């Protein structure tokens, strides 16, 4: 059951930050609440003060920036991202990922910011954003700061957000030419949480087909979403072949830190990393060639 709390629905970001500054770690922020309410109903989280920021429409937007990148407000819903013509055109992998995230009902109300702040290592958005080299911004009364998404998650359900800080925006840099990004998650039931998730982004050189840059991000393979940097090194600067993709998969598998739980053993998760890095890498390569 949910314990009683004092409730605030600030109308502006400034108001919200002021409340956060006032109540420090005695308060919790609720956006869509699709993750938080489950914890509160089960009595696992029981804040004295609840700051409801769902109404801050100023943080809900998807817009191009001057350099052809994209800015997404933290309170943008999953569904808005899934259906955005802009995102489908420029960052289609994000829309694909959203399409298999939980259910439509969850996506209609839950927000991308809320998802990232929940920091479930099996979450879908983080690996994709990491592969897209995304950054995010946080604000507090003291000011703003930014960091790469891949530095945001510190541990299971723990982020770099400090007391008094609110996630405000996610930034996607412009996609370099000849870049392809793909994401897949393994699960037994469609739309279920990832048993393992893999996102790969490959940028090819113009005309020579050499891998100029590559980013491999894994979900549910470690306490936080992780970059498989050693696996990337296998492919970076080389002409990508099937064998190299296989090798990258093996290196990623060895470097991952998956757990054993009731859904899969550690060994099986490693197998999945190996197979999926190769597969998703192939898909990303194909997309890069088309781009």
Partner 1 sequence: MSQYSVIGTRVHRVDGLEKVTGSAKYTFDIVLPNMLYGKILRSPHPHAKILNIDTSQAEKLIGVKAVVTGKDTLGKKQGIWRRFPELCDEEILCREKVRYIGDPVAAVAAIDEDTAEEALDLIDVEYEPLPAVFDPMEAIKEDAPQIHDGVELNINVTRHIEWGDVDEAFKKCDHIREDQFKCSSQAHMCMETHDAVASYSYDGKLTVWTSTQSSYYIQRLLADILDLREGDIRVIKPPTGGGFGSKFELDSAQFCASVLSMKLCKPVKIVLTREEEFTATKRRTPMYYYLRLGAKKDGTLLAKEVRVITDGGAYTGMGATALYLTGFFSSFPYKYPNYRYDGYRVYTNTAPTSAMRGFGAPQSTFVGESQLDMMAEDLGIDPIELRRKNGMTPNYEVPGQAYIQSCGLHQCLDKIEEHIKQRGKLPPNHGIGIAAYGFMSGGIFNWFDTPYAFSAAIVRINIDGKVDLFTGACDIGQGSDTTLSMICAEELGVHLEDIRIYSGDTGICPADLGAWGSRETLMNGNAVKMAAADAKRQLLEFAGAKLGANIVYDMDIKDRWVHLVDRPERGVSYFDIVKEAIRGKDGEVIIGRGHYTPHRKGMISPAYSFGVQAAEVEVDPETGRYKLVNVTTAHESGTVINPVGIEGQLEGAIMMAGGYGFCEDQPMDEGKILNPSIADYKLIRSLDMPETKILEIDTYEPEGPFGAKEAGEGLTNPTAGAIANAVYKAVGVRINNLPITPEKVLRALREKQKQKR
Partner 2 sequence: MKKELKLTVNGQPYELYVEPKTLLVQVLRDHLGLTGTKRGCNCSSCGACTVMLDGMAVKSCSILAMQANGTEVLTVEGLATGVQLHPLQEAFLDHGAFQCGFCTSGMLMSAKALLAENPKPTKEQIKEGIDGNMCRCTGYNSIIRAVTAVVKGEYKEEK
Binding site for partner 1 (CB under 8 A): 1, 186, 188-193, 262, 264-265, 268, 271-272, 275-276, 279
Q: How far apart are CA 152 and CA 125, in angstroms?
A: 13
DSSP state for residue 58 in the 8-state scheme: G
Contacts with partner 2, 102-131, as mask; x by CB under 8 A:
xxxxx-xx----------------------
Shortest reach from residue 286's CB to partner 1, in Å: 18
268 interacts with, out of partner 1, partner 2, none, CB within 5 to 8 A per kind: partner 1
Q: What, of partner 2, partner 1, none, does residue 44 touch, CB below 5 to 8 Å by kind?
A: none
CA distances from 265 to 57, 97, 260, 270 (A): 43, 25, 4, 9
| Closest distance to partner 1 from the beta carbon of 64 (Å) | 33
Closest approach, Cβ 76 to partner 1, in A, equals 24
Q: Write out the H or E segment, with its range, that includes residue 251.
A: helix 242-255
Q: Which residues pair with 211 in a beta bridge?
A: 204
CB 167 within 8 A of CB 136: yes
Q: Which does 156 bind (CB under 5 to 8 A by kind): partner 2, partner 1, none?
A: none
Is 141 a binding residue for partner 2 by CB under 8 A? The answer is no
Q: What is the chain's length?
A: 291
Q: Which of residues 3-22 bind partner 2 (CB under 8 A)?
A: 3-7, 9
Q: How far is the CB of 256 from partner 1 (least distance, A)?
A: 15
Give the whole-angstrom CA distance, residue 135 versus residue 102.
Answer: 24
**Which of residues 199 and 277 has its CB atom nearest to partner 1 in the complex?**
277
Report, in Å, the least distance between residue 37 CB and partner 2: 5
Q: Which two tokens stand for residue 10?
A: 């600030």
Is residue 41 involved in binding partner 2 (CB under 8 A)? yes
Distance separating alpha carbons of residues 195 and 197, to the nearest angstrom: 7
Report if residue 33 touches partner 2, rule: CB under 8 A. yes
Name 244's Cβ contacts closer than 8 Å, sequence gap at least 6: 234, 235, 238
Task: Please tell me the distance from the alpha carbon of residue 71 to that of residue 122, in angstroms, as a whole number.
Answer: 24
In eight-state DSSP terms, residue 152 is: T
Binding residues (CB under 8 A) for partner 2: these are: 2-7, 9, 30, 33-34, 37-38, 40-42, 50, 52, 54-55, 79, 99, 102-106, 108-109, 190-191
């Amino acid at each position: 059951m949910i314990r009683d709390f004092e409730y605030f629905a600030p109308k502006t970001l400034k108001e919200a930050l002021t409340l956060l500054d006032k109540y420090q770690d005695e308060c919790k922020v609720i956006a869509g609440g699709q993750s938080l309410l489950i914890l509160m109903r089960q009595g696992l989280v029981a804040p004295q003060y609840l700051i409801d920021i769902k109404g801050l429409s100023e943080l809900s937007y998807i817009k191009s920036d001057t350099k052809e990148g994209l800015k997404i407000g933290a309170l943008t819903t999953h569904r808005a991202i899934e259906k955005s013509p802009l995102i489908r055109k420029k960052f289609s992998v994000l829309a694909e990922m959203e399409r298999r995230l939980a259910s439509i009902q969850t996506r209609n109300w839950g927000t991308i910011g809320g998802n990232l702040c929940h920091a479930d290592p099996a979450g879908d958005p983080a690996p994709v954003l990491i592969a897209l080299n995304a950054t995010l911004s946080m604000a507090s009364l003291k000011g703003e700061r930014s960091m790469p998404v891949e530095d945001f998650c510190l541990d299971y359900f723990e982020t770099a957000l400090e007391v008094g800080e609110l996630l405000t925006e996610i930034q996607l840099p412009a996609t370099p030419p000849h870049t392809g990004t793909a994401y897949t998650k393994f699960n037994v039931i469609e739309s279920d949480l990832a048993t393992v998730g893999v996102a790969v982004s490959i940028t090819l050189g113009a005309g020579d087909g050499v891998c100029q840059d590559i980013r491999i991000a894994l979900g549910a393979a470690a306490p936080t979403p992780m970059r498989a940097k050693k696996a990337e090194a296998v492919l970076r600067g080389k002409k990508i072949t099937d064998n190299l993709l296989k090798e990258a998969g093996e290196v990623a598998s060895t470097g991952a830190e998956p757990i054993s739980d009731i859904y899969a053993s550690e060994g099986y998760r490693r197998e999945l990393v190996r197979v999926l890095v190769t597969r998703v890498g192939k898909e990303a390569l194909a997309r890069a060639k088309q781009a």
